[in-house]
A and B are shown apart, each in its own frame.
Chain A
């Protein structure tokens, strides 16, 4: 039995626009253990992005409790959340979200910069990760000179450089052609095989098939609320 990494209890999130309240999430209960590969599915506007933001510590829930590796984070400040993201969560985004003006190496080393690691040391660590993913020949290129597939692999390198507890992949194949998409899917499976916990939001059926558990979300609730999950 692995440790519980993510534990959501009665999570709710309400957005207020003027006088209108919009409930994006209600009564979400969810547990994810270390080493799992979870895909979150659901139509647009179902609340899956909000759920990803909360799991990724980018947003805090309006109600409920969120234990991440046993630590309550629902009430933390912005800077405290930033430190947790910096050390715990590796993000992979649909649009890659690399900084176009920086080189590949600088992009990958950026999270370590925010951790306060010295220039030489962080370049060394970043370079090692790039080598592992076969991207070391592109280290000095600007991020925007690479193809989409290469950029997404650089983004994965950036997620891996911090040795994250969780890799959060938000539509990681959404902007890629099928060949590059297949490479990314294979890479994620390989990482999960090596013991990494992966949580992904996707419409890509090929990616979802690789996940070991699928969570379906609809109207801000996890479907089949009795046990919170549908096992595949």
Chain B
């Protein structure tokens, strides 16, 4: 070990420059991966905000004629459809949604906004967080109360300076009590309208006022993603059967599969990680070539000495091990320096205050030196260090002891 250090530093300047190059390469790859990881985690959190295992189902239009059913007939879910779908095995919860656009008034201010008439579970399914007050309760449903949960956007427009809680907002000619205001929510994956632009009332209140025979869409919370394709098929079958349409007609029902969008965003960030890793890896490769160069010079310089070692009984394995460990040691020193620099930079970046619309939207993307990043860096360094040593070491093993002893 002591000997390895001594031999390595025989050509000080060259070795130090090479170790610095490795440090820089490590720094580059570690920092890039840390930033990529930070972005991925931040976006993953934003994506998860919508909720997992969610399927939005909207009634479509017939595209095929089927036993007297014409094509191009728009369909709506009936209460019977909803009852049958909710009894399917993979469905853990189902929530009907009635959408309508309306003008909301408060004193002299107004806002045209979308209202969704939903049930209490909706808040959990869609992970709606309240800034103040509460979401629609089972009692609101039972008593068909005229209560309203304001979305972030409507609350901002109607109540720019005052607290909207317990105020009455007019929907058409009816006063609705504001029982809750929703937190601003990062939404990269939206189901149609972003949550910030929605407002909510109990679906029983809506039914009482309008008495709808049909449901616009359903949010289905399912148990197992594995059986999602089957679930979709079953839903289509039920709708086809109840409405007398062709069960093979894919246009009958529109599915908005959140998991699919989440997956594609996840894939994008994994791709970004790989890309950043490759850029960092190339920087490290250049440094690795530097190590290999220094090691080649060391082997050439040590030809006579390798001859002595072989004469004394050193086998190829011993010589190989000697030069590979020398290379790994240099790589380790550079790598350690690079990781320390990178960790320092990560801490500095975390201290920088970030503002702006996007930051508010998705949260602050902080670089993360996750175990995954560290393991990747260590593996890459190990491979480069090993290879940089391997080729010069193989040259060393081919040295003929008889010739090397004459060579000075």
Q: Is the CB of A58 within 8 A of B312?
A: no
Q: Is the CB of B402 within 8 A of A58?
A: yes
> Secondary structure at chain B's binding surface: helix, strand, loop or mixed?
helix
* A residues 68-103 in Cβ contact with B at 8 Å: 78-79, 82-83, 85-87, 91, 93, 95, 97, 99, 101-102
Q: Is the CB of B405 within 8 A of A86?
A: no
Task: State A150–B401 Cα separation when bound (angstroms).
Answer: 25
Q: Is the CB of B315 within 8 A of A82?
A: yes
Q: Is the CB of B3 within 8 A of A83?
A: no
Residues of B within 8 A of A85 (CB): 311-313
Task: State A83–B316 Cα separation when bound (angstroms).
Answer: 11
* B308 on interface, CB distance cutoff 8 Å: yes
Known contacts A99-B308, A101-B3: A79-B402 contact under CB 8 Å: no
Residues of B within 8 A of A82 (CB): 310, 313-316
Q: Is the CB of A59 within 8 A of B402?
A: yes
* B residues 391-408 in Cβ contact with A at 8 Å: 400-402, 405, 408
Q: Is the CB of B405 within 8 A of A93?
A: yes
* B318 on interface, CB distance cutoff 8 Å: yes
Residues of A within 8 A of B402 (CB): 53, 58-59
Residue interface mask B280-323, A partner, CB < 8 A = 1 = 00000000000000000000000011001111111111100000
Residues of A within 8 A of B309 (CB): 99, 110, 114
Residues of B within 8 A of A110 (CB): 309, 312
Which one of B3, B312, B408 contacts A86 once the chains associate, using CB atoms below 8 Å?
A: B312
Task: State A83–B311 Cα separation when bound (angstroms).
Answer: 10
Task: State A162–B313 Cα separation when bound (angstroms).
Answer: 11
* B residues 371-408 in Cβ contact with A at 8 Å: 400-402, 405, 408
Task: State A99–B310 Cα separation when bound (angstroms).
Answer: 12
* B residues 170-203 in Cβ contact with A at 8 Å: none
* B6 on interface, CB distance cutoff 8 Å: yes
**Nearest Cβ on chain A to B319's Cβ, whole angstroms:** 10
Task: State A110–B316 Cα separation when bound (angstroms).
Answer: 15
Q: Is the CB of A114 within 8 A of B315?
A: yes
* B7 on interface, CB distance cutoff 8 Å: yes
Residue interface mask B306-350, A partner, CB < 8 A = 1 = 001111111111100000000000000000000000000000000
Residue interface mask B21-37, A partner, CB < 8 A = 1 = 00000000000000000
Which one of A78, A106, A158 contacts B312 once the chains associate, using CB atoms below 8 Å?
A: A158
Task: State A82–B319 Cα separation when bound (angstroms).
Answer: 12
Task: State A33–B148 Cα separation when bound (angstroms).
Answer: 111
**Nearest Cβ on chain A to B399's Cβ, whole angstroms:** 10
Which one of A56, A58, A114, A158 contacts B318 once the chains associate, using CB atoms below 8 Å?
A: A114
**Nearest Cβ on chain B to A119's Cβ, whole angstroms:** 11
Q: Is the CB of A58 within 8 A of B401?
A: yes
Taking CB as reference atom, which chain B residue is nearest A100?
Answer: B305
* A111 on interface, CB distance cutoff 8 Å: yes
Residues of B within 8 A of A91 (CB): 311-312
Taking CB as reference atom, which chain B residue is nearest A161?
Answer: B312
Known contacts A53-B402, A58-B401, A58-B402: A97-B308 contact under CB 8 Å: yes
**Nearest Cβ on chain A to B73's Cβ, whole angstroms:** 84
Q: Is the CB of A99 within 8 A of B318?
A: no
Residues of A within 8 A of B304 (CB): 97
Taking CB as reference atom, which chain A residue is nearest B311?
Answer: A91
Q: Is the CB of B313 within 8 A of A111?
A: yes
**Nearest Cβ on chain A to B402's Cβ, whole angstroms:** 4
**Mind listing 19 A-B residue pairs with CB under 8 Å?**
A58-B402, A79-B315, A82-B314, A83-B315, A86-B312, A86-B313, A91-B312, A95-B408, A97-B405, A99-B305, A99-B308, A101-B6, A101-B7, A106-B3, A110-B309, A110-B312, A114-B312, A114-B318, A115-B313
* Given A82-B314, A111-B312, 6 other A-B residues pairs in contact with their CB atoms under 8 A: A82-B316, A86-B312, A87-B313, A114-B314, A158-B312, A162-B313
